[in-house]
Amino acid sequence: MFDTLSDRLSAAFKNLRGKGKLTDADIEATTREIRIALLEADVALPVVKDFIAKIRERASGADVRGGLNPAQQVIKIVNEELVGILGGETRELRMSKRPPTVIMLAGLQGAGKTTLAGKLAKWLKETKHQTPILVAADLQRPNAVTQLQVVGERAGVPVYAPEPGNGVGDPVDVARRAMEEARSKQYSVVIVDTAGRLGVDEELMKQAADIRDAVNPDEILFVVDAMIGQDAVVTAQAFLDGVGFDGVVLSKLDGDARGGAALSIAQVTGRQVMFASNGEKLEDFDVFHPDRMASRILGMGDVMSLIEQAERSFDAESAAKTAAKLQKRGGKDFTLDDFLAQMQSVRKMGPLTKIFGMLPGASQFKDQLENFDEREIDRIEAVIHSMTPAERTDPNIINGSRRARIAKGSGTEVATVSGLVERFFEARKMMSAMASGKGIPGMPGMPGMPGGGGKKAKQQQVKKAKKRGSGNPAKRAGGPAQPEAPAPGQLPAAFGGGGQNGGDFELPDDLKKMLGGQ
């Protein structure tokens, strides 16, 4: 959603690189570019004016510290101000001291309230160890009750739906009876799904206010479609005046809209964004962290969210066993079965494009990520499943006839099977070296990594290389050159870089420098 905004901000910062000092003209030009970027992202005009004024004031004053170049100085200020307009600190749900905690969802029709009710219930059940119940109080929209029942079944959460809906029943009475049901069966959280309209009207506000008075909610969450731009701010203000709400949930953050709602609502309404829904699956639901979102917008990644997703997806005991295999006997105990298990664990974290997008500098190879075919993982799984247990344990025994059989069984080409086996050996070698504290093969002197000796180690490597001549036997013999190890900053063939399976995949410049490139 924030791709366009991120690109425009990156272009604005790029003009500052190479400058030794931040002048008034630089500040004026950069803030003008930032203002245009925010307006194009559909951020509310009052928010833009306030944001730009703060950046200009801080960049011109004593807030600029020495030791940072002009681009870094401005990025630091913009990052801090972005965190501010996104709400500052992360806000948690208020849980009632005397259960059940009542959460009421409000918003326009089509904002995604019903699906979000299931996502929120699943999140509370799995991460907060609560026992939630969903209440079908949307009796206006056709099949809204049925949809909530389907969502509840998928989430593994009970649904209280005494009325069929489709215009039949009293939503206020349903909400009141739901509270009695929750207390008698000792549910810890009640999530009330209310009706929406295509627009804000008096009837909608009155019904929402009556339900609010009937259940006395601990939290009223306003669900807003992040794709409707500045209208989201107008609607939010209308709900705030008519019903009131305590927090905001942004839905459809995976859309291709400009994202101005996320940057405007908290500042205009004074209510923080608490959750973000970024997909159709029930797992596509996250706590909204202003600092992490600001980091994503500025192209600095979101490593903390990536770590949290990994912790939820990976089994600690299984990961420890895998690490032990990689540390012994040069990693030879690490089999294709282990490789497949690790790959499946990564897939549980979500689409690979989303995972890689959380890495710092990912915006620099955005086009490659967008063109990545997720079905390639399915083909790899098919190839491995077509192997015998002995072949998965020791891929060295896979000869020509075995490759032909595996290719036929998996519906792929022999070259695909050969490429997978080769990439497996390369990946195993790299992972084994890292697990054993030897650093990444072919990347001597990598700063901050085990085995990396910095500049001195790099000079020693160069001296040794000169002494023994070319490391390529074919070159020494005068024959045709064979593929060499990837250069620093270039990915190995196993990961789409140089070599026989090479591609056009390029690492970010900053990462290339970190790996020892020029």
pLDDT tens digits for range 106-126: 988 888 899 999 999 999 999
Give 420 or 514, the one with higher predicted confidence: 420
Residue 107 labeled ligand binder: yes
Q: Is the dihedral of CA 500, 504, 508, 509 positive or negative?
A: positive
Position 468 pLDDT exceeds 80? no
User: Could you tell me the fold of the domain covering 101-287?
Assistant: Rossmann fold (3.40.50)
Q: What pLDDT, on a 0 to 100 scale, did the predictor assign at position 407?
A: 92
Q: What pLDDT, on a 0 to 100 scale, did the predictor assign at position 313?
A: 62
Helix axes 316-327, 414-435, angle to 10 degrees: 90
Residue 478 labeled ligand binder: no
Q: Identify the band that residue 464 occupies on the pLDDT scale cut at 50, 70 and 90.
A: very low
Q: Is the dihedral of CA 380, 381, 385, 390 positive or negative?
A: positive
Q: Among 3.60.15.10, 1.10.1740.10, 1.20.120.140, 1.10.260.40, what is the CATH number of 3-85? A: 1.20.120.140
Q: Identify the band that residue 376 occupies on the pLDDT scale cut at 50, 70 and 90.
A: confident
Give 451 or 158, the one with higher predicted confidence: 158
Residue 332 labeled ligand binder: no
Q: What pLDDT, on a 0 to 100 scale, did the predictor assign at position 516?
A: 43
Residue 195 labeled ligand binder: yes
Question: Of the ranges 206-215, 268-277, 329-338, 465-474, which one carries the lowest mean pLDDT score?
Answer: 465-474
Residue 194 labeled ligand binder: yes
Position 103 pLDDT exceeds 90? yes
Residue 112 labeled ligand binder: yes
Residue 460 labeled ligand binder: no
Question: Of the ranges 103-112, 179-188, 322-331, which one carries the lowest mean pLDDT score?
Answer: 322-331
Residue 350 CA to residue 302 CA, distance in Å, equals: 15
Q: What pLDDT, on a 0 to 100 scale, did the predictor assign at position 263?
A: 74
Query: What is the per-residue pLDDT across 417-453, written as a single tens digit (0 to 9) for each?
Result: 998 999 888 888 887 777 666 554 444 433 333 334 4
Calculate the average pLDDT of the chain. 76
Position 205 pLDDT exceeds 90? no
Closest CA to 379 of 431, 427, 342, 343: 343
CATH superfamily placement of domain 312-436: Signal recognition particle, SRP54 subunit, M-domain (1.10.260.30)
Query: What is the per-residue pLDDT across 333-371, written as a single tens digit (0 to 9) for each?
Result: 888 888 888 777 777 776 666 666 666 555 555 566 666
Residue 198 labeled ligand binder: no
Residue 109 labeled ligand binder: yes
Position 490 pLDDT exceeds 60? no
Residue 87 labeled ligand binder: no
Residue 339 CA to residue 395 CA, distance in Å, equals: 12
Closest CA to 180 of 208, 215, 145, 131: 215
Q: What pLDDT, on a 0 to 100 scale, did the predictor assign at position 480?
A: 42
Residue-range domain boundaries for the chain: 3-85, 101-287, 312-436
Residue 110 labeled ligand binder: yes
Residue 37 labeled ligand binder: no
Residue 196 labeled ligand binder: yes
Please report, for residues 25, 305, 360, 449, the alpha-carbon distance to residue 454 in angstroms, rounded to integers and kept in the order given. Answer: 39, 30, 22, 10
